[in-house]
Amino acid sequence: MTDDGISLIHTIGSTEPKSPPQPWISLNIFPGGLVPSGSDLIDAIEKTNLVLSDMESLIHHYDKTLKVWLDRFLQNREKAKKMYSERFCKMWEFYLSSCSAAFYYRDLLVYQLQIVKNYTAIPSNRRDYIYR
């Protein structure tokens, strides 16, 4: 949280209700990871003394990021194979391509939440100050 009481949280989320973590992802990529829904995030904030002052759903953003990561990984696949293994390479190819598809075609997106301590911490009816 900044000195003026503003926090910006950027997190992967889902448009679907809470469900158990995807087993393969939990085992191989993000042990203990969860993908919250928008309501999960809001419910958690409402239990604090903080205020959700802005929430933005960034749809079709992270799929592009994962695609670039996949392209870079494939350019360096032989190096990764020498450092780790063929199994590791297949696992990361699968993860990057399948998650990119999930962000593009399914239920994954990035939530950006602005949380404040009080109502006077931010200008009213504007977002442009976030990107300065």
CA-closest candidate to residue 96, choices 122, 127, 124, 62: 62
Compute the distance between CA of residue 128 and CA of residue 95 in angstroms, rounded to an integer.
34
Residues forming the active site: 99
- Structure tokens, 109: 């997106």
Residue 30 exposed, middle or buried by CB count within 10 Å (0-12, 13-18, 19+) = middle
